Structure 1
Amino acid sequence: MTTTLFVQIRCKPGTAYNVADEIGLREIHSELYSISGDFDLLLKLRVPSGEDIGRYINDNLLNIEGIERTNTIQTYKVFTR
């Protein structure tokens, strides 16, 4: 069982592609998008149940060079047709 999170990532100017490449190398994401607006990237990831979400993000994401700010959104239920 996992917890699904969306993480909005703001990158330092000119670093979004490098940040995306580094996230890809770490294989921590389920999906990764470039986006418009206040943030540059949108990361979908699944954290193992029971894992400390803050620590997981801190240990696996926030030490990537070029990340300026993040906003994490935790999901609860998936609605399907």
Structure 2
Amino acid sequence: MQTIFVQFKCRPGAAYTVANDLQESVEEMSEVYSTSGHYDLIAKFYLDDGRDLGHFVTEKLQVLDGVADTFTTVAFKAFGSAG
């Protein structure tokens, strides 16, 4: 299983719509958060091993209405969980 985090820059006023669309249409998504700074949202995705990350991001995420830009980070190892 591959874990990636994708930050989303949304068009003005579209962050809540994008977050809702991610929840409803992207089954690989684990969670999504609103953020401050250069990006409006960050979401965590679990992808099957061997899945092409580029195709997933460009064909499933960047095409969502309201998405202006994305920034993808590949995670290698989880060291534990909070709480």
TM-score for both structures, normalised by structure 1: 0.92
Q: CA shift at 1:18, angstroms?
A: 0.7
The RMSD of aligned alpha carbons is: 1.2
The DSSP-based 3-state class of the residue aligned with 1:59 is: helix
Map 1:36-51 → 2, pairs under 5 A? 36-51=36-51
Runs of at least 4 residues off by over 6 Å: none
How far apart are the structure 2 equivalents of 1:80 and 1:23? Answer: 25
Amino acid corresponding to residue 2 of structure 2 in structure 1: T
How many residues are treated as equivalent by the alignment? 80
Q: Counterpart in 2 of 1:24?
A: 23
Q: CA shift at 1:23, angstroms?
A: 0.6
> Which runs of 5 or more residues in structure 1 are unaligned?
none
The DSSP-based 3-state class of the residue aligned with 2:64 is: coil
TM-score for both structures, normalised by structure 2: 0.90
Deviations 1:21-41 (A, max 9, x none): 111111331010001111000
Q: Counterpart in 1 of 2:56?
A: 56
Identity %: 38
